[in-house]
Structure 1
Amino acid sequence: MRLLVVDDSALMRRMLQECFAGEPDIELLAARDGEDALAKLHSFAPDVITLDINMPKMDGLSCLARIMEERPCPVVMVSSLTERGALATFEALELGAVDYVAKPDGTVSLSLDLVYDELRAKVRAAFAGKRAKARNAARPAPARLAPKAPPAAPAARVVQIGRNRAGSEPVELVVIGSSTGGPKTLGDILAALPADFPAPILIAQHMPPRFTRIYAERLAGICRIKIRELDRAQPLQPGTAYIAQGAKDVIVTRKMRRLCAEPMPLDGGLTWHPSVSRMVASALETLAPERLVGVMLTGMGDDGAAEMARIHQNGGRTIAESEETAVVWGMPQQLIAYDGASVVLPCDRVAEQLRHWLVVPAPQRTSQCR
């Protein structure tokens, strides 16, 4: 893998190079600013780029736009944990960056070593996603509406839209788990839902503090449903999507016969936060599986896969994003491996499936569609 690290600070470039020292399969080159990065974009031909946002001459966003125009490749942004850094990060994701790493303690570069493991994991995930997309592009196009294959192997399985055995039960809650590549995918899905969507949507998107409020505000500007950051315990309303607050987990409860959600202190035994596993487990403790719909989108690891599989295996419905559109096919792949996906769909068909399951009146159950 050829990795280009771009930062105007000599100290930061040295620390980024230190982060990947001892990785024998990585050929690394550094660029001192956006202009230098564009020059090396063609001569070095990187597989992945890490890109600072704040640089002189050409800032990271301008550089990213040129990269996507001249030679697109996976870009992981390195941003600060400030409001300005969060805004710029979301602009970068909209321009085509696949992920970001937030520097701890704002702009204190000496603390970058605290996120070395995260940075290495995200760079490798970006490279794996690039290779997977190259493999898929070389394959013959599969039939988009073919019946699902047997569940023996965890391969992408695309099925015809239809109701499964839970189709006659009213859905009280949709739970969505997402990580790397998720912010843009979530935006596209939520923007395609009608304002009168009949159930609340609770989302655990792996994201640091400060970012979730700004993310919710940006989504509110493009969606017909209401978008809220879940910053306090509150009842869940139909036609509203709730983004779990960064640096918190979220649980589902029922109070005074009303379905509620509330932020909780982090569970130190879990790796990713807000935790998809904890959110879905609490939803299953509060609601019957047939009253739930689970959606697993792009992301590294297996957060929430086992818990979401229980929804499907006990009478509920689940959607796993297919490999063809997932930036990182980790979390949805694990859901499929658990035989936990009712349907496997590209991200541009997820909203259509949700509308079909929840908005169209359910017919009488005569058969199962799995």
Structure 2
Amino acid sequence: MINIPQINVLVVDDSPLTRKVLKMLIESDESLNVIGVARDGIEAIEKANALNPDVITMDIKMPNMDGLTSLQYIFEEKNIPVIIVSSLGERGSLIAYEALELGAFDYIEKPDDLYYLKDELIKKIHAAYIFSQSEKAKKEFFSEKEISYETKEKKVIETPSSMDFYGVAIGISTGGPRTIYDVLPKLPANLNAAVFIVQHIPEKFTRTYAERLNNSCELNVVEVENDMEVKPGYVYVGKGGYHLKLRKGLNGLRIMLSKTPKHIFMPSVDVMMESVLEHFDNKTVGVLMTGMGNDGANAMVKIKERNGYTIAESEETAVVFGMPAEAIRLGGVNIVLPSYNIADEIIKKVGLRNG
């Protein structure tokens, strides 16, 4: 792990008490320094320009100018990572999701007791800073070892699939709500595949995520429900708080929502990919994109071993080169591509349906 220098943080919130508590929580880590605070979006823009912080924490609902508007002004002038720290209401949830689409680094739901934020807040500030720095720093953040693109040779297990279409399993996390638009809208309505996607995102966002993607895609994008039929031409978005699994029904494949196994992520990319592989065998295409950690990396190895096909997003476009880097390190990747080339590779592999 690299030595992280002093990281300067700007805290933006309309509540004096919240500003005070956030400052205290952030500065409990000796490498973090709150360089300034702002009461609304206008002051946030002014202080971002004057103080040039390394990371900004931003509330959404504020007087004079809200966080979403302020975010857009800041991004026009500065390349400063912004972490949204806000309470979730129905309307607030939609705006927070829009912030992620606009390029906010991450989102933290503000609990009633702010002290529960401490560990998550510090971790995400460090991550936001690291990923705004050099490519070398990004690599070192995840591992002291250099990442190799040479995949390990694995024994291929021949398991011909009886399915007449493919299963495309996509795992994506930090930076995903924006990056996924490089892929899904480019897939045609007659794609010879059903697409399954797990996006690590707060539980209340998955329906909004699916609805907004559906407005931009030729494929039908739906948030999964239990016992939903699996058909080609659809994108099935994992439901917050449940694993996305498949089961064989009397009339083909059905969606199965599950609370097991217990996992840090609900839904989990590994769980989803392994279930897709169980039913699609060598007609499984695994895609692992931007995100922290290693969720999905082990499943990518299994897909490749079963003679499926695996694609990892390259460091060139990944906001966070964590999940795809781990899949590469484990030898679970057939090809590494920037996000804007992934859709073409999927089409090339699965083909199009007639009629």
TM over 0.5: yes
Cross-structure match for 2:3: none
CA distance in 2, matches of 1:134, 1:13: 33
Cross-structure match for 2:268: 275
**2:99 pairs with 1:92:** yes
Cross-structure match for 1:317: 309
Cross-structure match for 2:11: 5
Structure 1 residue 165 displacement after superposition: 11
**2:126 pairs with 1:124:** yes
Structure 1 residue 157 displacement after superposition: 7.5
Q: What SS does the corresponding residue of 1:284 show, helix, strand or coil?
A: helix
Cross-structure match for 1:68: 75
**2:161 pairs with 1:154:** no
**2:323 pairs with 1:331:** yes
CA distance in 2, matches of 1:254, 1:212: 25
Aligned ranges 1:101-180 → 2 under 5 Å: 101-104=108-111, 110-133=112-135, 154-155=147-148, 172-180=166-174
RMSD of the alignment, in Å?
A: 2.5
Structure 1 residue 91 displacement after superposition: 1.8
Deviations along 1:247-294, one digit per CA (max 9) or x if unpaired, are 1111122222612222212543x2122111211222233332x12000
Structure 1 residue 94 displacement after superposition: 2.7
Cross-structure match for 1:31: 38
Aligned ranges 1:239-258 → 2 under 5 Å: 239-256=233-250, 258=252
Match of 2:185 among 180, 191, 194: 191
Structure 1 residue 236 displacement after superposition: 1.0
Structure 1 residue 7 displacement after superposition: 0.6
Structure 1 residue 184 displacement after superposition: 1.4
Amino acid at match of 2:133: R
CA distance in 1, matches of 2:182, 2:277: 27
Structure 1 residue 133 displacement after superposition: 4.7
How many correspondences in the alignment?
333
Deviations along 1:141-182, one digit per CA (max 9) or x if unpaired, are xxxxxxxxxxx9524689xxxxx999x976521111111111
- Conserved in 1, the CA contact under 8 Å of 2:179 and 2:339? yes
Match of 1:235 among 184, 204, 229: 229
Cross-structure match for 1:210: 204
- Conserved in 1, the CA contact under 8 Å of 2:157 and 2:306? no
- Conserved in 2, the CA contact under 8 Å of 1:171 and 1:292? no
| TM-score for both structures, normalised by structure 1 | 0.83
CA distance in 1, matches of 2:120, 2:307: 36
CA distance in 2, matches of 1:216, 1:195: 16
Structure 1 residue 99 displacement after superposition: 1.6
Deviations along 1:61-112, one digit per CA (max 9) or x if unpaired, are 11101101111211111232222122101221232212211224xxxxx323
Q: What SS does the corresponding residue of 2:317 show, helix, strand or coil?
A: coil
Change beyond 3 A, Cα 1:281–1:92: same
- Conserved in 2, the CA contact under 8 Å of 1:157 and 1:345? no
Change beyond 3 A, Cα 1:33–1:210: same
Cross-structure match for 2:216: 222
CA distance in 1, matches of 2:297, 2:114: 30
Change beyond 3 A, Cα 1:70–1:156: farther
Structure 1 residue 337 displacement after superposition: 1.0
- Conserved in 1, the CA contact under 8 Å of 2:26 and 2:121? no
- Conserved in 1, the CA contact under 8 Å of 2:149 and 2:329? no
Aligned ranges 1:339-354 → 2 under 5 Å: 339-354=331-346
Cross-structure match for 1:52: 59
Q: What SS does the corresponding residue of 2:179 show, helix, strand or coil?
A: helix
| TM-score for both structures, normalised by structure 2 | 0.87
**2:304 pairs with 1:298:** no
Amino acid at match of 1:286: H
Amino acid at match of 1:117: D
- Conserved in 2, the CA contact under 8 Å of 1:216 and 1:229? yes
CA distance in 2, matches of 1:80, 1:156: 41
Q: What SS does the corresponding residue of 2:113 show, helix, strand or coil?
A: helix
**2:25 pairs with 1:19:** yes
Structure 1 residue 135 displacement after superposition: 6.9
CA distance in 1, matches of 2:147, 2:38: 40
Task: List alignment gaps of at least 5 residues for structure 1.
Answer: 105-109, 137-151, 159-163, 362-370
